[in-house]
Amino acid sequence: MNTMKWLLKREYWEHKGGFFWAPVVVSGLLALLTIGSMLFATAAGSQGSFHLDGNNAAINLQQALNDISDPQKIEFAKGLAVGYPAVAMPLMFTLGFVVFFYCLGCLYDERKDRSILFWKSLPVSDRDTVVSKALTALVVGPIIAIAFALALSLVVLFTLMVLAALHGLNLFGLVLGDTNFYLVIAQIVSFIPVYVLWALPTVGYLMFVSSWAKTKPFLWAVGVPVVGGVILTWVNALAGSPFVLESYWKIIVARGLGSVFPGSWLGQVAETNVNMNPDNAVSVLLANTYSLLGTANLWIGVVIGLVFLAGAVRMRRYRDEG
């Protein structure tokens, strides 16, 4: 009896819209946009309207690409080999939104539509249920989003290289021969464990509010910290600034509510990316990300997240659906 597997499936069935169709639509749009503009550029380029390096002589794409020197070509391929997943960044942003609203709804909606009475008629503990929902937000959602991100990135990259090759610029050997091309995939996947830890306090908090709120979980979850900040601002204005508001907004609002957005940790660590270049970009980002593991910020967040999740289990156990 593999209860957890079924619980995760259940969450996926119910929230397929957010975890599957949202990335499908966003990747589709991104593919359309990037590939469309590449096709447009090549079409326009074959008419000969390229201006390179401030050179006013209009040349066509073929000529423009032929003019690229070998060192330039190598630089370009290096950049592509490491930077191609950048096209999928909006998917990570989408993921942040999906996870945010999923967490906010997952323990509230089942009470609202009373389906909790069905779920609770089965021999599944509240702990397992809450854990399955947290795992959906922290692991399943990100894995699906990253799979889409990589697929989209590869499609866009290969389209670009095919188009370039058709116009006389063959980058296949250089890009595919670059170890970064493969490494970057592994590196992106290895962001997931950090995401799990980093997003935990927000996921825990939102799920707790979801399990507790009688109505309007969004207003409670977002309204309370924001109104709190506004009140503190007033107190500061009237009483000569007894509070350090900057850290309130930074810790409670940005970290507390925003940590479900992948990469939101990057502003929080000592910047060592001064010398970031195509050769080391991903490893620098990854090193920055993993340097989080040495910060109190991350681990305090983990503890707070777990406390909130325990609270959500407790709430679900006895919260009367009315």
Partner 1 sequence: MSSVLHATALSKHYGKQAAVDRVNLEIQPGRIVGLIGPNGSGKTTTLKAALGLIPFEGELKVLGFDPRTQRDDLMKEVCFIADVAVLPRWMRVRDALDFVAGTHPKFDRSKADAYLAKTKLKPTMKVKEMSKGMIVQLHLAIVMSIDAKLLVLDEPTLGLDILYRKQFYQNLLEEYFDEGKTIIVTTHQVEEIEHILSDLIFIREGKITLNTSMDEIAERFTEVMVGSEHYAAAKALGPIDERSVFGKTVFLFDGINRSTLAPLGDMKTPGIADLFVATMKGTYA
Footprint on this chain of partner 1 (rule: CB under 8 A): 1-3, 5-7, 9-10, 13-14, 110, 113-118, 120-125, 317-318, 320
DSSP-assigned beta bridge partners for residue 279: none
Question: Phi and psi dihedrals of 32, rounded to 5?
Answer: -60, -45
CA distance 272 to 276: 8
**Pick 7 or 281: Cβ nearer partner 1:** 7
**Pick 5 or 216: Cβ nearer partner 1:** 5
CB of residue 307 vs partner 1: minimum separation in angstroms? 21
**Pick 15 or 255: Cβ nearer partner 1:** 15
CB of residue 95 vs partner 1: minimum separation in angstroms? 21
User: For 173-178, which contacts have Cβ atoms below 8 Å and span 24 or more sequence positions?
Assistant: 174/73, 174/74, 174/77, 174/78, 174/81, 175/77, 175/80, 175/81, 178/77, 178/78, 178/81, 178/82
CB of residue 321 vs partner 1: minimum separation in angstroms? 8
CA angle, corner 307, sides to 302 and 311, nearest 5? 145
Task: Copy the structure tokens of residue 157.
Answer: 């990259």
Nearest to 322 by CA among 117, 130, 139, 142: 117
**Pick 102 or 261: Cβ nearer partner 1:** 102
CB of residue 263 vs partner 1: minimum separation in angstroms? 31
CB-CB contact of 46 with 62 (8 Å): yes
CB of residue 120 vs partner 1: minimum separation in angstroms? 7
**Pick 7 or 146: Cβ nearer partner 1:** 7
